[in-house]
Structure 1
Amino acid sequence: MTVKETIETSLPVAGSASGWPSPTLAWYTVFVLFLAYTFSYVDRVILTILVEPIQRDLGINDSQLALLHGLAFVIFYVVLGVSLGYAADRANRKRIIVISIITWSLMTACCGLAKSFGQLFMARAGVGVGEAGLSPAGYSLLGDYFPPHKRGLALGVYTAAIVFGGGVALIIGGLVVQAVSAHPTINLPIIGATRSWQAVFFIVGLPGLLVGLLAMTLKEPMRRTGESIVSSNRSRVSFLTQFKRHKSSYLLHIVGFSMLSVPFNVTLLWGRPFLSRTMGLSPSQGAYTLGVIMMIFCTAGILSGSALSDRLLKQGHIDATIRVGVIAAVGLVVPLALFPFTTTITPACFLLAMILYFGSFAFGVAPAALQFITQNENRAVMTSLYLLGVSFIGLTAGPTLTGVFTDYVFKDKALVGYSAAIVSVSAAVFAALAFLYLLPRFRKAADQESRLWG
């Protein structure tokens, strides 16, 4: 059975004998996971609001700040992310999600106890450990709640929590920073005298524990490959066998989407400082501006890219997810190249909107693409490798290289826009080439897997 035939046979799912979970339960699961992912990104992104006070109190430069933003997450994710993905393919995914939420929420609060760069780095690494367990289990869970032709939108809504959470973090963070700016030191119960930026970590971290309780209401669905329920006595395909079968497709997918994530993460970390350093906005004004743009245009980008993928998929284009990646990469080049030359706020906001729209356009479909060429027992660990690539290249290398250019090449904080453009344009072009090279290989891999499902 080809992928197109698989899609067509999945259309009358509502009353099918295959017994997909009810739409109500499926979308409730999306809602809970969306909420969890939102909180995870609030906890991750809040650092970008606190750049100036953290640099002042801890005496760190742009390069060190970028390491806190990225490497602190990746350093333990390298080991635990893949291990947790392996566990999600074999154990109860709901329990992994609950434990992950509780872990990163507590570690975000621990960031508020940091008194040095090293302590803050370790606390941020703990946040990364917790967050490493959510998405591999979450994507795998949703893959068993939705049939293929509806999966792109569902995963897109879940992934939209990244940008929604990022926008919420910027807006709430701006409000909190503004509220506590008049009081550099705050006295908290039990803890005592605390810098105001440290208190922000308590404010955004501890409420996540309530989300962990909500996640305990989720249900574990039957595991599926294609349209078929995975039997408990079915022989498993080892991950190594799965990876070797489509090695070039997996590597190009990881490289392409990792490079595509660079412009988004560079903008996420350095967009707000750019608005302050170049446009003269206060930290809170810059946070509001970037937060609103992110919530509107990133959400629109992810949902429209996911909807386009589902539409192309119904039309029989089995490489729909990768086509969306090509559109996103090409759409990024011009606004990224023009952005550092803006001198007033209006054109800067317009270009930021375009960058964040196309920068998020393909990230609802990236995990969905993997599910077309990966059998159920290897989906979570394959997703964890994809997320590892995105974290290492997009979250760490891209923003850190931007900081290095600013500190050691331009040697002027006001020129961070030029650093961001050099890094981001190069990454977008590289992503487009990787996707174009991937298209025929992905079609071949998807057809091969669909025949194995049948």
Structure 2
Amino acid sequence: MDRQILAILQELIKADLRLTDTQLGLLSGLAFAIFYATLGIPVARLADRFNRKNIVAISLALWSMMTAAGGLAANFGQLLAARIGVGIGEAGSSPPSHSIIADLYPPNERAGAMGIFSLGVVLGAALGTTIGGLVASSYGWRNAMFVIGLPGVVLAVIVWLFVVEPRRGLSDPARAPDAPGTPMPGLAAGFASLGRSAPAVHLVIAVTLTSMIGYGLTAWGPSYMQRTLGISVRDIALYVALPGGVFGVISAVGGGRIADRLARGRGLYAQSLMVAVFKLVALPFMLGFYLIDQPMLAIGSYWLSVLFANSYLGPTFALIQGLAPLRMRALWAAITLLVINLIGLGAGPTLVGVLSDALRPQFGADSLRWALCVFAAITPWAIFHYWRAGVLLRRAAA
């Protein structure tokens, strides 16, 4: 919610602070991603050594307070500083969380668990849009930032007090942990070990491309609906985001469950192939959202794309954690997130904004529509890498 709240507020912020699309893209993209991605590496090293749930709690408190601080911004520079603070805080979330989940669930149940964890992305985007849109439409965008940000501080206390820190390697009894006193692998060793795993490399490329497309489309979706389809902030919050969240939950949880069944019946390789097929099915509906002028039909096409497209999160991260050495799980997660977020989150929203401004002289008010179409059309590239990862995993298992 703290990351996606900006999407529904962009048009209000743009009018209030007199920003360009490029500046809006920087706020939700590159400026956020640089700190979020790069700081994930040192946080992961801490998570591979120390108590992971405490790192998550501290990070949650920080990014929640910085989200609320964004509501006090009087200009682009101040809002930029607040969003950088959110990125710094969020850097401490995913690497230790992935590591904890990998210790709690065996390989043939891990995709389902990661799918449930990925609901943070799905429900965060939906609830951030819904709550933020409703509050902003009645009380302004600044109060929406306060409402979304401050409850996270309370949740941080709950995480600190009640979340359990599992023993490392708990769910991988066949992979014995290193003996006490064994030196921790260094950062270079982490990059080298991931680079030596061809399936992992293809998975990282696939999820990076998918994230770049997804972050770009998600960051600008509400603005597109307001500018081109003529849907109000309140109606997006009530009638688009909530059903979209339901379809996203079905996709994330269902995708994880299907992936677990495929792993038990056919092998882990089938999970990557499943994602490739689902992404292929989602593609025409994704494009339809931007090419259909009738609002209700366009929104229906959007919901159908979400139903299939969000299934990738659980299987992808579960496969990467399954390939990672035990003492490098948080580090592999951080390396993956470094690439995903520098390229995906950093480039996605930013490039959509730049492309929209560049296309404005030719397409006018429709410039954002065509910028988003260009991004959606990159999807087959990601599909190829999911397919290739599945092929390599199948060969390795033979």
Alignment check: 8 A CA contact 2:216 2:352 kept: yes
Partner of 1:122: 81
Deviations 1:33-74 (A, max 9, x none): xxxxxxxxx111111121122111221111110110111221
Taking the aligned partners of 2:277 and 2:72, their CA distance within structure 1 comes to: 44
1:207 aligns with 2:154: no
Partner of 1:69: 28
Deviation at 1:288, TM superposition (A): 2.5
Structure 2 unaligned runs (5+)?
none
From 219, 226, 245, the counterpart of 2:172: 226
Distance 1:170 1:325, change over 3 A: same
Deviation at 1:212, TM superposition (A): 0.5
From 384, 400, 418, the counterpart of 2:370: 418
Deviations 1:15-47 (A, max 9, x none): xxxxxxxxxxxxxxxxxxxxxxxxxxx111111
1:378 aligns with 2:328: yes
Partner of 1:305: 255
1:34-49 paired onto structure 2 within 5 Å: 42-49=1-8
Partner of 2:15: 56
Deviation at 1:127, TM superposition (A): 0.4
Provide the secondary structure at the position in 1 that maps to 2:4: helix
Partner of 2:388: 437
1:98 aligns with 2:57: yes
Taking the aligned partners of 2:275 and 2:42, their CA distance within structure 1 comes to: 28
Taking the aligned partners of 1:176 and 1:237, their CA distance within structure 2 comes to: 47
Taking the aligned partners of 2:184 and 2:88, their CA distance within structure 1 comes to: 27
Deviation at 1:443, TM superposition (A): 4.1
Letter of the structure 2 residue corresponding to residue 244 of structure 1? A
Taking the aligned partners of 2:3 and 2:193, their CA distance within structure 1 comes to: 35
Taking the aligned partners of 1:413 and 1:262, their CA distance within structure 2 comes to: 23
Taking the aligned partners of 2:92 and 2:337, their CA distance within structure 1 comes to: 11
Deviation at 1:365, TM superposition (A): 1.5
Deviation at 1:342, TM superposition (A): 0.8
Provide the secondary structure at the position in 2 that maps to 1:208: helix
Letter of the structure 1 residue corresponding to residue 370 of structure 2? Y
1:303-382 paired onto structure 2 within 5 Å: 303-382=253-332
Deviation at 1:364, TM superposition (A): 1.4
Deviation at 1:79, TM superposition (A): 2.7
1:232-243 paired onto structure 2 within 5 Å: 232-233=179-180, 235=182, 238=185, 240-241=188-189, 243=191
Taking the aligned partners of 1:47 and 1:290, their CA distance within structure 2 comes to: 16
Provide the secondary structure at the position in 2 that maps to 1:142: helix
Alignment check: 8 A CA contact 1:74 1:391 kept: yes
Bigger CA radius of gyration: 1
1:231-270 paired onto structure 2 within 5 Å: 232-233=179-180, 235=182, 238=185, 240-241=188-189, 243-247=191-195, 248-270=198-220
Deviation at 1:237, TM superposition (A): 7.0
Alignment check: 8 A CA contact 2:129 2:241 kept: yes
Q: Percent identity?
A: 30
Distance 1:266 1:328, change over 3 A: farther
Deviation at 1:304, TM superposition (A): 1.4
Provide the secondary structure at the position in 1 that maps to 2:19: coil
Taking the aligned partners of 2:367 and 2:180, their CA distance within structure 1 comes to: 60
Taking the aligned partners of 1:318 and 1:116, their CA distance within structure 2 comes to: 49
Taking the aligned partners of 1:295 and 1:219, their CA distance within structure 2 comes to: 28
Alignment check: 8 A CA contact 2:281 2:308 kept: yes
Letter of the structure 2 residue corresponding to residue 403 of structure 1? G
Deviation at 1:241, TM superposition (A): 4.1
TM-score, reference length from structure 1: 0.81
Taking the aligned partners of 1:390 and 1:373, their CA distance within structure 2 comes to: 18
Deviation at 1:332, TM superposition (A): 3.0
Taking the aligned partners of 2:184 and 2:45, their CA distance within structure 1 comes to: 13
Provide the secondary structure at the position in 1 that maps to 2:247: helix
Taking the aligned partners of 2:261 and 2:181, their CA distance within structure 1 comes to: 33
Letter of the structure 2 residue corresponding to residue 433 of structure 1? F
Letter of the structure 1 residue corresponding to residue 131 of structure 2? I
Deviation at 1:179, TM superposition (A): 1.8
Deviation at 1:163, TM superposition (A): 0.8
From 62, 84, 91, the counterpart of 1:132: 91
Letter of the structure 1 residue corresponding to residue 192 of structure 2? K
Taking the aligned partners of 1:367 and 1:234, their CA distance within structure 2 comes to: 29
Taking the aligned partners of 1:72 and 1:328, their CA distance within structure 2 comes to: 31
Letter of the structure 2 residue corresponding to residue 325 of structure 1? V
Deviations 1:327-365 (A, max 9, x none): 233123212333322111221111111222232111111
Deviation at 1:320, TM superposition (A): 2.8
Letter of the structure 1 residue corresponding to residue 244 of structure 2? M
Deviation at 1:242, TM superposition (A): 5.3
Taking the aligned partners of 1:380 and 1:413, their CA distance within structure 2 comes to: 44
Provide the secondary structure at the position in 2 that maps to 1:363: helix
Taking the aligned partners of 1:359 and 1:234, their CA distance within structure 2 comes to: 44
Greater Cα shift, 230-239 or 109-118? 230-239
Aligned residues: 390
Taking the aligned partners of 2:228 and 2:326, their CA distance within structure 1 comes to: 49
